[in-house]
Structure 1
Amino acid sequence: MFGIFLDVSERKLAEEAREMLSGEMSHRVKNLFAIATALTAIASRNAATTKEMADDLTRRLIALGQAHELVRPVLAEQKKTTTLATLLATLLDAYDDRGAIGDRIRVAVPDILVGEASVTTIALVVHELATNSLKYGSLSAEAGTLDVTATVDQGDVEIVWTELGGPRVDVTKGQAGFGSKLVNLSITSQLGGAITFEWPDKGAVVVLRMSKARLGV
């Protein structure tokens, strides 16, 4: 009798584990479709031809894949976090036409942990800002530069995105691009933060403030 009870219990646990795994896989697949839809929408807004859209979307998906590889669980260590500096450098590398981060695009942030759940949110925001920089801002100009810095203030992380050397940004176009619904929604709802914009001569300054605790999840 004890053997039968043990066998049933083990089967029940196995079934529960399969259901849990199936639910988790379903959730992740739905997230992937949502991400792909968002990236396709961004690419379509900024492309003049189908080839441009395909190239842009490919670049975004590769960068996103690289970003998620940073937090892929490693069985030996169960590492599911990366640093903000590594994540930003990985994402922005796709936008540096000089081939390496540090010349035109500079990232200088402290070692702040970014959790698996926050990687996609940061990636979508960075893609949106970088795309609009290529279209309207400093990355559209030969001499333009982008500096990304960050500081920790009590329980918040403040990321400052500073563009210099680009054309004068039309505030209407800039606000519509840099301050899109996607960026605002991502920062406020997903990371419990806020975003502000400044438009100095031939540049743009975007300040992203978010919860350090939410960022590390």
Structure 2
Amino acid sequence: MNAETISAFRLAKRDPADLTAELPLGEEHALQSASDAFHALADTMPQLVWSTLPDGSHDYYNARWYEFTGVSVGSTDGEGWAGMFHEEDQPKAWAKWNHSLETGEPYEVEYRLRHHTGEYRWMLGRAYPIIGTDGIIQRWIGTCTDIEDQKRAALENEILSQELSHRIKNIFAIISSLISLTARARDAFGEHASELLGRIKALGRAHEIVRPHSEKSRPSLGVVTLSDLLETIFEAYPAFSEGRISVLGGDTVIGSKSATPVALIFHELATNAMKYGALSTSAGKVRLELVEVEDEIRLEWKETSGKGGTLEEPLSGFGTRLIDLAISQQLGGSYERRWTEHGLEISMVFNRNRLIENA
């Protein structure tokens, strides 16, 4: 085995999907001069391994490809491979492959490949170019990795998650009905029932935005940010639609685990502002600013009454204890509370990782 062949053999020992290297120029490609070694290596891999010419024309498949597809040797050379993919996946696969051929960028796509039994299985297709010393692509080396089991597991988990979320939503509805029935039966419970119902509904809205029970109810933006959650909570207050509650910043993604305490915190603050603070006046406003400082998220809640005189600070009650519990214990944050003549001001600090944590 000459030096050029040894060099190519060492190159071939790497994962073919990660094979991006500069090879010596010559009448024969270095990888071709070590074809026996490369083919033997490729045939031992669990993936389906293939290679193409610079124009994307397939000229090699390993033994796994033929075992999986059941096609005759050479029948999928050139562009004959295209018919092996599910027709629904072909446009996307072709678009990405053509883009890679035009730009030299690595190729990666998920598609369904026809098994020799006739069924289709999900594959993760990857390919990297082999580039010569002149900077020109000399061929592409790629793999197809069977991800059918992972896809099925992910789908089963999604179905289970949606079913669980649906049941939790039903539980919220049942609890709300029980509270309402109790309030109608006992007049003395009425005021407390109203406050409790507000908290339950806030939790329900938070749950729905971070853990939707169906694709139809899933937020169209794909991910949920802190400002998305806050706006969902504030939508229940007329002051929000009137433009008297503003949320600035807040592009930080929020996790399902922190959504519940965050919803409780700002439901209590908004309710308190409606009863005692700035929103108890027609000209009052609330400004909530979210600032990211390194690994911390700072939230500044500031009320302005829009009128002269001093608003009366409410006595510390269950709502205050609930806010303290949510900030300090559930979210591991800290806060400073100030009561001014225009209403409440509160500065909160949270660790970013704590906010994005999922249950």
TM-score by length of structure 1 reads 0.67
Residues 68 and 206 from structure 1, CA distance in 2 versus in 1: closer, same or farther, beyond 3 angstroms?
Answer: same
- Is the 1:71–1:115 contact (alpha carbons within 8 Å) kept by the matching residues of 2? yes
Aligned residues: 176
Q: 1:133 aligns with which of 273, 279, 289?
A: 273
Q: CA deviation at 1:60?
A: 3.9
| Residue matched to 1:65 | 204
Q: Does 1:83 align with 2:222?
A: no
Task: Name the one with the larger helix percent.
Answer: 1
- Is the 1:83–1:113 contact (alpha carbons within 8 Å) kept by the matching residues of 2? yes
**What amino acid is the match of 2:237?**
Y
**What amino acid is the match of 1:193?**
G
**Secondary structure of 2:292's aligned partner:** strand
Q: Does 1:124 align with 2:264?
A: yes
Q: Deviations over 1:10-46 (max 9, x none)?
A: xxxxxxxxxxx8xxx7xx97xx79xx79xx8xxx9xx
Instruction: Give the % identical residues.
Output: 35
**Secondary structure of 2:251's aligned partner:** coil
Q: Does 1:209 align with 2:349?
A: yes
Identify unmatched segments of 5+ residues in structure 2: 1-159
Q: Aligned ranges for residues 43-192 of structure 1 at < 5 Å?
A: 53-72=192-211, 82-97=224-239, 100=241, 103-165=243-305, 168-171=310-313, 173=314, 176=316, 180-192=320-332
Q: CA deviation at 1:54?
A: 4.8
Q: CA deviation at 1:179?
A: 7.6
Q: CA deviation at 1:199?
A: 2.4
Q: CA deviation at 1:65?
A: 1.9
**Secondary structure of 1:180's aligned partner:** helix
- Is the 1:64–1:123 contact (alpha carbons within 8 Å) kept by the matching residues of 2? yes
Q: CA deviation at 1:190?
A: 1.5
Q: Distance in 2 between matches of 1:62 and 1:134?
A: 17
RMSD: 3.5
Q: Distance in 1 between matches of 2:317 and 2:223?
A: 30
Report the structure number with the largest CA radius of gyration: 2
Q: Distance in 2 between matches of 1:182 and 1:50?
A: 20
Q: CA deviation at 1:168?
A: 2.2
Greater RCO (CA < 8 Å, at least 6 residues apart): 1
Identify unmatched segments of 5+ residues in structure 1: 1-20
TM-score by length of structure 2 reads 0.42
- Is the 1:124–1:183 contact (alpha carbons within 8 Å) kept by the matching residues of 2? yes
Q: Distance in 1 between matches of 2:189 and 2:280?
A: 20
Q: Aligned ranges for residues 31-46 of structure 1 at < 5 Å?
A: none
